[in-house]
Structure 1
């Protein structure tokens, strides 16, 4: 009995100490913390569980948008990303290798492989299509675009094919990447600065194909080889899948935009084989406008990309008149910025004309607030490839097919249907997992009979 009493007494002391610590921490963060003057939700000031809970639900980007709307921009300390190399020299070294394989000349050299994968994507659509819409098998564009995007990323990174579009053998990789993104986002938000030390097999070899490994130094540590390869799979696969899926979604819900884009494609090219990365493709202004509006409305990385002042920068960091303590992580939430009506009138409405020079909406749109690839030295080097992939997929699909929403409840998957939805009525639901997870759209395709693919 004496032992039990001592345990209970020790437990009481422990609980009192824990409660005292929590009260002290809450008072410090509320009254004394250097960033206490920034407005925002109380839960976010008191604990990182606020972001962790948002990461679990996948709605952190919506919370950030709501907080920006209610409180204005905020600074969030001590949130680290493994993709942020704080040392500029280290970042420059990493970026140099990646930029070589994603340069315009490199992308041109890679285009035959990309074109092959686009044609496989179209053949898969043809297998589900019918000249009679009622006989067409509904296609889940999220699944098809993820297979396409990841296969292209794997080919570009490692020079090998996994056959993700035609075989189910390696498709568990797609789910593994999504689960990994979910876990990473959760730990990044809940445990700032947390990392993981992975041991990986040396996959380096001399490649005949044009790929990332061909550009990496032979003496690069295995951990960095793994990091760069993983970067390609996430940034080059999942993001493209989101962009393609969202563009199909928005076109299928906006018939006038669909009609105008289809007319542009079908009047610009004489046949499907001529749709390549050419001056003709670049001349399709409405195509580029629909891509930009898709990336604005449904950004593939909807969350916050965190930044920190470089260690060698000895000067003060001042943002909006506030002195930011060294070591504080800063960021602008992409989804919140892209839906700020001060920069984008009718922020929840799909309006490609906002990107067309001379339109009244374009005059009100602030292009400097459009950052789907981030900006500056940390901007995504894969921008050229991303635009090419989305352009080829959509242009060639519209040349060979007409498409529409699948009937019934299946056609509504992935769509917000309420006026009070954060995505707006008929918006495309995204789930923030560092990248964006998504479902659908489910579409039916009808061949136009314009030659063989």
Structure 2
């Protein structure tokens, strides 16, 4: 009995100590913390669980938008986090060499010694990697890769022909995801995953989605990873992870068995390149890490853009008719639809894609940056007029900025003409502000390296689909807004479209 009483007393003492610590910590965060005067949800002032909770629900982008409407253009979203919603903040944060990518991105590392473009924190190392990887993703590399891309797009179009002949609607999120991942596989490893033509690997999109979801939650609350709770799920998750790594390793071995320049992929473009400033190249292990990162990064971005484009084209008939007229008057055959002056002249096509990127950014999350603890107090960091204390984590939510009425009037309405200066009804200054706020690929040195690939792939897919087919939506009763779930990338379904062949054009396929 005395022993039991001693244990009970010890537990009470520990509970009291814990309670006292919570009171002191939370009181400091509410009343004395350098960010205490910034508005925001009360719970967010106490704990990072606020962001993690809504990340778990895949709703953090929507909640951030709603919070900005309630609290203003800057809000406190964690004890040590500020989120902004202005053009000034966009450029002050992401074009500022003083800030570094948030340390929370390190939760995505597979190995402590291997970094890729997404999770590398060191600025010098990032610049080196960016220059090297850029050789495989720039416009010149995309021109060389375009024939391979077109092979996969042709498969996509043939699958739509089958839907026409069978009278079955097509779920464009699935179709675009399979296409995007097959193209990413071709670029990263010299071969696709055959997702469009075979069901054996169609577990991949769901597996990638789960991985992105996990990353999204951890970036909001890194401690969740470090406590090791996910080990409980290893019996469920580990077989899928091992399956993915076996598949990737098989693709790497097959590619290494070929001549280095046998295919116009990343391996061919980058393996011999040395950074002109440092003289460094990528090791084989680093190169395959970058290729593996390209699978979800490239596939997810392009599939979201294409699915959103088809969604809004099917729900805005005037937009659809105008785009169809432009494409069908510009080209005389589907084979002519390729990169070059004719495709570049399709200004309405580009406007449709940019409006889809605006209203449905492929990644609607907040991209966090850290203010160094040793930041020079003699020249304080200023973001949108606010002096930011050292050690603060700052960011801007892309989804929220893209729906800011100050820059995008009627933000939830799909209006491609807003990107056409002669038609948008805005002044030159307002048009410039709108373009300055448009950041689906982020800006600055950390902007997406695959921007050229995304635009080329989406332009070809949408233009060729409009050339060969007419289509309409079969799920009219759903929301007029393309619904996405935020998970460091996005998860979505639909639209379901019914296709018709345009005359005999399809026979050239």
For 2:293 and 2:393, how far apart are their aligned partners in 1? Answer: 21
For 1:68 and 1:179, how far apart are their aligned partners in 2? Answer: 28
Partner of 1:288: 350
For 1:312 and 1:121, how far apart are their aligned partners in 2? Answer: 53
Contact preservation (8 Å) 1:87, 1:310: no
For 1:312 and 1:89, how far apart are their aligned partners in 2? Answer: 19
Contact preservation (8 Å) 1:121, 1:148: yes
Which residue, 177, 188, 196 being the options, matches 2:219?
A: 188
Partner of 2:483: 429
For 2:26 and 2:271, how far apart are their aligned partners in 1? Answer: 47
Deviation for aligned residue 1:312: 9.3
Partner of 1:400: 468
Deviation for aligned residue 1:192: 6.2
Q: When the two structures are superposed, what TM-score results if normalisation uses the length of structure 2? A: 0.80
Deviation for aligned residue 1:440: 0.6
- 1:245 paired with 2:307, answer yes
Contact preservation (8 Å) 2:181, 2:192: no
Deviation for aligned residue 1:219: 7.2
Contact preservation (8 Å) 1:73, 1:332: no
- 1:142 paired with 2:173, answer yes
Deviations along 1:279-329, one digit per CA (max 9) or x if unpaired, are 111111111111000000000001111123479975532223333233322
**Which stretches in structure 1 are left out of the alignment for 5+ residues?**
417-425
Residue-pair matches, total: 434
Partner of 1:420: none
- 1:121 paired with 2:183, answer no
Q: 1:274 and 1:190, CA in 2 relative to 1: closer, same or farther beyond 3 A?
A: same
Which residue, 492, 502, 507 being the options, matches 1:438?
A: 492
- 1:98 paired with 2:133, answer yes
SS at match of 1:331: strand
Deviation for aligned residue 1:182: 0.5
SS at match of 1:150: helix
SS at match of 1:20: helix
Contact preservation (8 Å) 1:34, 1:325: yes
For 1:192 and 1:37, how far apart are their aligned partners in 2? Answer: 26
Q: When the two structures are superposed, what TM-score results if normalisation uses the length of structure 1? A: 0.89
For 2:306 and 2:193, how far apart are their aligned partners in 1? Answer: 20
Partner of 2:263: 209
Partner of 1:2: 2
Which residue, 88, 105, 109 being the options, matches 1:81?
A: 105
For 1:50 and 1:216, how far apart are their aligned partners in 2? Answer: 44
Deviations along 1:79-116, one digit per CA (max 9) or x if unpaired, are 62242533221110111122110111100000000111
**Which stretches in structure 2 are left out of the alignment for 5+ residues?**
82-101, 107-117, 229-240, 273-279
For 1:21 and 1:312, how far apart are their aligned partners in 2? Answer: 27
SS at match of 2:369: coil
Of 57-66 and 204-213, more deviation after overlay is shown by 204-213
Contact preservation (8 Å) 1:353, 1:362: no
- 1:384 paired with 2:447, answer no
